[in-house]
Chain A
Amino acid sequence: MLEAKAVTKSFGSLVAVNNVSLAVAPGELRAIIGPNGAGKTTFFNMITGFFPPSSGEIVVEGRDITRLTAQQRVELGMARTFQITEIFPELTARENVCIAVEVASGYRLRPWLSRAARTRVRERIDEIIASAGLTKQADRRVGELSHGDQRAAEIAMALALKPRILLLDEPTAGMGEQETFHVASLIRRLHKHSGYTIVLIEHDMRVVFNLADRITVLDQGSLLAEGTPTEIADNPAVQSAYLGSAK
């Protein structure tokens, strides 16, 4: 589904990501973890087209997308969320999703919509708002919502793009217990019930070990380990990277 082949990114003399490969199967939920500065977000940014890799290849469903722009990747079905929630704060949750739905339906340059198209858009918005669990908050400005609901709104916008791959950059960053649980169950629902292929970066280990099918561990820009949650938990290299080498 999504494949990275020997991807490297250097900024000047700093090698942020060094020769990392991974392959995500359709329907899989893959977590990318690693200590701070491990290159997780840099790696993510290359997958989503924020900037191109210095070398290596990124392939989605057999197609080389290494040089495509972010917008072209969105059209191929890759939708992302950001570490710091990126939403339209002064608009309501419904308006946020509406913009995403209209763009995804190819209406972005339309000066008007037919009644039928408007009805379709409205139904799709309701459906997405419901699947993100935002029905009650739909008409409030998203800037006023709780952190967890803002994240849900951001994910809802990503869903509106009918993505084949959802890329979530630290979806529970900066959240309390309750909110983390709320967002984690939303992700689980999207994975288990709606069958989305999801790649996520995450700091909260409980979230990672509860949700992920497979885990990729990065450390100092390189691939340290990959495997199922149990394999990763038992891996001595991972333990030392996280706990510091106990010589």
Chain B
Amino acid sequence: MSTTTADTVFERPAQRSWLPTVAIWVVLLTVPLWLPWIGGYTALAGRVLVLGLAAMALNFLLGFTGVMSFGHAAYFGLGCYGTGLTLKYLSDSTPLAMLVGILLGGIAGTVFGALIVRRRGVYFAMVTIAFGQICYYVAYRWNSLTGGDDGLRGFQRQPLHIGNWIIDIQNNPVLFYYFIAAVFAVCIGLMAFLLRSPFGRTLLAIRENERRARFLGIPVERHIWLSFSISCFFTAAAGSLYALLNNFADPMTLHFTLSGEIVIMAVMGGMRAFWGPLVGAAVFVVLQDYISSMTVNWMSFIGLLFVLVVLFFPRGLLGFVRAYSEK
């Protein structure tokens, strides 16, 4: 999990690339110990991880394939509703509910992706918004199934049963935080693994220079499609965790404002850095929590911060830290 282009064929200074990974994991795993001391609560840390996962999943497409989607809330929301609906109507198995949510969001992304990969740039971004809004209005209007405007209530995450062991993620927020962290670890581990592979390098190639990639013999559309699908599956995984975190599925999780927020997190944190979107999500979520307790206009403050970051640290917060530490 190097912070740059991540690869296996080349020898790079190993220490440096492992340092941020170790540092971030130390922080993430010790959060429940120190967060209450500085006035936070564990569910807030869970939110950071969930939205961080969504932003990193978006960044698989945005930062490492060079393709912009403004509609990732669709897959996040489908993951969220898929999980919520399964828990409410079908089964009391948390893993099964997650699987349904992930498949729903991921497959929707895969099918939709196949239709749009020939579009580029603004056109691609626009159709992704449109698809997201379709999903939003379906959830918004389909009262009997989704609860409409009020959102989907009446389900709860269930304890995990592993053999004779019961892990009570339902009532123990710290255990649930570690459950989120474990899912997060698996997801970003898989993404990092893919980015280090020959397949991952073809995505970098497409980001860097699509024409060159094509004339090397890479079927660019097919690879963008794969990247889009992978990104949607992991975004849906984040959405699924979000349903468990809140015991609630909100139609706003499908709305394009969330798509925009996920993009802001990725760009603010640094989309060329593997961990950048997580940093962006942490800043976003913590600021939102802090400022929204004082004013309803919290978004204007985050907006201002975003503008300042883009103006002064065009490579994002983590990109800036990295460039500074390499000097």
Contacts and interface: CB of A to CB of B under 8 A. Distances in A.
A108 B202 CA distance: 7
B9 A74 contact: no
B5 interface: yes
A103 B209 contact: no
For B7, B10, B205, B216, the residue with the greatest tally of chain A CB atoms inside 10 Å of its CB is B216
A24 interface: no
Contacts of A80: 215
A157 interface: yes
Contact of A103 (B10, B202, B204): B202
Contacts of B10: 92, 94-95, 98, 139
B208 A90 contact: yes
B201 A111 contact: no
A75 interface: yes
B7 A71 contact: no
Interface in B125-174: none
Contacts of B219: 71
B297 interface: no
B199 A100 contact: no
Interface string B201-234: 1101100110110111111000100000000000
B199 A111 contact: yes
Interface stretch (B51-59, B75-83, B190-198, B244-252): B190-198
Contacts of A91: 5, 204, 208
A108 B218 contact: yes
Contacts of B272: 90
B300 interface: no
A95 B201 contact: yes
Contacts of A216: none
A247 interface: no
Contacts of A103: 198, 202, 216-218
Contacts of A86: 209, 211-212, 215
B216 A161 contact: yes
B15 interface: no
A88 B205 contact: yes
B326 to A, nearest CB: 12
Nearest to B10: A94
Nearest to A119: B9
Interface in A165-208: none
Nearest to A112: B197
A87 B212 contact: yes
Contacts of A157: 212, 216
Contact of A99 (B194, B205, B214): B205
A110 interface: yes
Contacts of B8: 112-113, 118
Contacts of A222: none
A118 B9 contact: yes
Contacts of B205: 88, 99
A101 B184 CA distance: 33
Given A71-B219, A111-B193, A113-B198, A82 B211 contact: yes
B215 A108 contact: no
Contacts of B209: 86-89
Contacts of A48: 215
Given A71-B219, A88-B212, A121 B9 contact: yes
A163 B15 CA distance: 39
B199 A108 contact: yes
A145 interface: no
Nearest to B272: A90
Contact of A102 (B193, B198, B214): B198
Contacts of A109: 198-199
- Enumerate the 5 nearest inter-chain pairs by beta-carbon distance, A residue then B residue, closest first: A88-B208, A74-B217, A86-B212, A102-B198, A107-B198
19 contacts: A48-B215, A79-B215, A86-B211, A87-B209, A88-B205, A88-B208, A95-B201, A98-B9, A98-B10, A103-B198, A104-B217, A108-B218, A110-B199, A111-B194, A112-B197, A139-B10, A157-B212, A161-B216, A161-B217
Given A71-B217, A89-B208, A110-B199, 12 more contacts: A79-B215, A89-B209, A90-B5, A95-B10, A98-B7, A99-B202, A102-B198, A108-B202, A110-B198, A112-B193, A112-B197, A139-B10
Interface of B: 5, 7-10, 193-194, 197-199, 201-202, 204-205, 208-209, 211-212, 214-219, 223, 272
Interface of A: 48, 70-71, 74-75, 79-80, 82, 86-92, 94-95, 98-100, 102-104, 107-113, 118, 121-122, 125, 139, 154, 157, 161
